Chain A
Amino acid sequence: MDMINLKIDGLDVSVSKGTTILEAAKELKIDIPTLCYIKKLNEVGSCRVCVVEIEGKRGLQPACVTNVSEGMVVSTANKTVRETRKNILELILANHNRECLSCPRNLKCELQKLCNEAGVDNVYYEKKALRSPVSASLSIVRDPGKCVLCGRCISVCANVQNVGVIDFAYRGPQTAVTTPYEQNLSENSCINCGQCIEICPVGALQEKDDTDKVWSAIDNPGLHVVVQVAPAVRVALGEEFGMPVGSNVEGKMVSALKRLGFDKVFDTDFSADLTIMEEGTELLDRINNGGKLPLITSCSPGWIKFCEHNYQDFLDNLSSCKSPQQMFGAVAKSYYAKRADIDPAKIFVVSVMPCTAKKFEAVRDEMQVNGYREVDAVITTRELAKMIKLSGMDFTKLPDGTFDGILGESTGAAVIFGATGGVMEAALRTVADILTGKDLQDIDYKEVRGLEGTREATVEINGMEIKLAIVNGTGNAAKLLDKIRAGEANYHFIEVMACRGGCINGGGQPIILDKSKTEEVRQRRAEGLYGIDRSKEIRKSHQNPEIKELYADFFEKPGSHKVHEHLHTHYVKR
């Protein structure tokens, strides 16, 4: 490989051709500040925060998009660079709604960190450019007054998610990132995935905050408030309290929820096991009885909305199973209500989700059981952290609590739902046992694990070849479906997660301040989940005793009429 030799801040470094100054500096442990830059995703060179001086070049050059060349001499922090950077940050701040104290991004904000480090303490100017007001959809809140116009959200939405509902518009001082005609995000094909929130460097994008709803339900003595927590939450919540990335905080989380005043603390993992019972049955049924194939998973509401907008010819391929969140709600307000002898009208179901799209899913028309809304409020991992902080708990010191029965028991199969490939693996574990009629011990389907955007595998179970695909990120899903449409690929079963990496990286998860660590964080959170799986005694959904009890007591068997009434749904063209 061609190596290039250069000097950065007086230090020699040798890097391969095509390396940027920014990356070359990293080799020397020099961190050049950046704002708009996200490697491979948003290399636009527009914010100019990363400018450096190159000997012999006029002006300063952006380190993030300038490639090294032989003999280059770079200064990353001399007087000119420091003063210029400060000027640029001050220019950004001048049109920024500076409300750090009440901002949801406070202390996790890249702009705040940059300004703090550069010593920008005083904004010289008076005027504010006119920006559109704050607008909120069911899942996402946009505050153009805090937008730094980095364009990251546009890139994620268009290039990773293939949605493209936002783009730059206008020019000059009016320049904005907006939807067409400034529509609310809920009026168009936004899939509520919240990936734009995760990538935003500042507080210009955030989840729609529903904690107030939850507080008032807790405060209402007439309500029986139960909470369910999705798998991916427990390996990420700790980050909000300074714990190492990937820590499993299930026990502390349960204690915290109990202290917050929930009447029952249940687990979405329970209903994930239930989902597998239903989805596994559906898969076998479709394969054996000539049903529509491939079967495509339906637990990711962002993906569902994406499909409803853009791939309507695949709606019949979607599993009719409701997602674990909704199955939980349906069971809570029927089976649980009956067992606990509580009027379902008095049960208030709260979900804690890694996902912003779940807020939308919960209010879909179809998501009702016996006339009751299955889920009454959805909060994200971040919102739960906020509630815990507000209550003054020292989270890291909490004792480990355990989930309440009869909707609290779960298996290793359920917990891995939170990572891409997890639903697939969980389903395979159950399907394999059904097909072979045995209690198989070799249940680690390593071929479906991993964080790559698209993965394929073929597994043979009892002489039956099952062709599988796993995609994460709706952009990858689109590519795969295009291939299927074109007849270039086919499968029996496809798992789709709307977010890259799956729910561990959902739009409601803790913000990763240093975006260059995103891959690593995903990896660690996923490892957290697989760690829990390994530590579980029961690792197959159909062996969950509470699930067995549920069928015996209430649903009879998977795919029964009652099951269809409660746990299955349909999709609409949008």
Chain B
Amino acid sequence: MEKVVGVLQKYGCAKENLIQIMLELQKLSGNNCLPKDWVAKVAETLELPLSKVYGVITFYSMFHTEPTGKYFIEVCKSGPCHIAGAENVLHMLEKELGIKPGETTPDGCFTLTKSSCFGACDIAPAIKIGEKVFGNLTKDKLKEIISSCREGL
């Protein structure tokens, strides 16, 4: 909870900074999500109804209310990646990780999701793992990326 108070203070406990506060808290959470009691604390401090705050964190796709895997893999499925073979990338990842989009591996290591375009169309098909973007993906390249993730655990 000190973390929450710290972030709230950094943003001057101002309502308009709600999204910035939540982004930062999610980063601090360690499991890429917003714990319920943190959310409640933020709502209370900013004097916002909890329903409003809940509305905000469910509206934006970057917020999670449940913990995600350590590596949060987003496969772009928008037009440019689609015609570059995003479907294949997704299938390869599903096979490699043994999970479907929206799921997390039992070891809590990977979460797989589909995402909207994140501006890597010049290197499509592309995926994003955390902040990092990987493009021009082939089967071998994907395998390499996943195994380096596994090593990095």
Interface positions of A (Cβ within 8 A of B): 158, 164-171, 178-181, 188
Contacts and interface: CB of A to CB of B under 8 A. Distances in A.
B58 A170 contact: yes
Interface residues of B, number: 11
B53 interface: yes
Contact of A166 (B51, B58, B59): B51
Given A165-B49, A168-B55, A178-B51, 9 more contacts: A164-B49, A164-B51, A167-B52, A169-B51, A169-B55, A178-B54, A179-B51, A181-B36, A181-B65
17 contacts: A164-B49, A164-B51, A164-B52, A167-B49, A167-B51, A167-B55, A168-B59, A169-B55, A169-B58, A170-B59, A171-B58, A171-B59, A178-B54, A180-B51, A180-B54, A181-B36, A188-B50
Contacts, number: 34
B54 A181 contact: yes
Contacts of A171: 58-59
Nearest to B59: A171
Contact of A158 (B49, B50, B53, B65): B49
B49 A169 contact: no
Interface string B26-70: 000000000010000000000001111111001100000100000
Q: Decide if the interface of chain B is mainly helix, strand, loop or mixed.
A: helix
Interface in B103-124: none
Contacts of B51: 164-167, 169, 178-180
B33 to A, nearest CB: 13
Contacts of B58: 169-171
A505 to B, nearest CB: 24
Contact of B59 (A165, A169, A180): A169
A158 B49 CA distance: 9
Pick the most buried of A164, A167, A178: most chain B CB atoms within 10 A of its CB: A167
B50 to A, nearest CB: 4
A168 B54 CA distance: 9
Contacts of A181: 36, 54, 65
A188 B54 CA distance: 14
B75 to A, nearest CB: 18
A151 B42 CA distance: 24
Contacts of B50: 180, 188
A191 to B, nearest CB: 13
Nearest to A164: B49
Nearest to B53: A180
Interface in B5-45: 36
Contacts of A188: 50
A181 B49 CA distance: 13
A158 B59 CA distance: 19
Pick the most buried of B52, B58, B59: most chain A CB atoms within 10 A of its CB: B58
Nearest to B43: A180
A318 B92 CA distance: 66
Pick the most buried of A170, A178, A179, A180: most chain B CB atoms within 10 A of its CB: A180
Pick the most buried of B51, B52, B58, B65: most chain A CB atoms within 10 A of its CB: B51
Nearest to B40: A180
Contacts of B36: 181
Contacts of A165: 49, 51
Contacts of A178: 51, 54
A170 B63 CA distance: 11
Contacts of B52: 164, 167
A168 B51 CA distance: 8
Pick the most buried of B36, B53, B54: most chain A CB atoms within 10 A of its CB: B54
A573 to B, nearest CB: 16
Nearest to A175: B59
A442 B59 CA distance: 60
